Amino acid sequence: MEQANNVKWILAKSELSREDVSKVEEALSILFPPDYVGCVLLKNGGQPVPDTFDFEGKQEAVFNSLIDLNIRENRNVLEVHNRLKDRLPETVFPFADDPFGNYLCFDYRAGNQPSIVFWDHEQSDGGANPEVRFVCNSFSELVDKLYE
């Protein structure tokens, strides 16, 4: 899926079916945003080029790759969520990582149209108030923010 700012996706794995996506949505009791679904159906596990974005004054955060939605793969969205869920707010779901152990997540706390937040593993103590930081309002907006 080409984005308006000419983001290319490299190293994508095999294409997903809508049924594959639906299985993950059902397991997490959410519906992924249509712009994200459109991307992962073609670019599952892919890495964007360019891959750098800014948020809340933090310069040069990196969008490494989409987490695999194929539940038959070892490192998939459900596995990552299950590993991190005790360290994330209840309705926050990782969908991409950076090279440093942090995650980009969909934040459903405000309703069915999730925003994008950044979870920094070094800032999360696993306590009652796990910290995530706002990045943008949608997956498309995130992709549009990417630069060299």
> 29-41 pLDDT, tens per residue?
999 999 999 999 9
Greater model confidence, 74 or 44: 44
Q: Rounded CA gap, 90 and 62, in Å?
A: 24
**Alpha-carbon distances, residue 51 vs 68, 69, 99, 111 (angstroms):** 17, 20, 11, 28
State the pLDDT at residue 68. Answer: 94
**Mean pLDDT along residues 102-115:** 94
Residue 54 one-letter amino acid: D
CB 16: neighbour CB atoms within 10 A? Answer: 21
Task: Report CA dihedral (119, 60, 48, 134) to the nearest 10 degrees.
Answer: 40
What's the pLDDT band for 124 if we cut at 50, 70, 90?
A: low
> Tokens 């991307």 — which residue?
39
pLDDT above 50: residue 8: yes
In the chain the domains, ranked by start, together with CATH numbers, are 8-145 (3.40.1580.10)
State the pLDDT at residue 126. Answer: 57
> 24-69 pLDDT, tens per residue?
999 999 999 999 999 999 999 999 999 999 988 766 799 999 999 9
State the pLDDT at residue 3. Answer: 39
pTM: 0.90
Lowest mean pLDDT among 57-61, 91-95, 131-135: 57-61
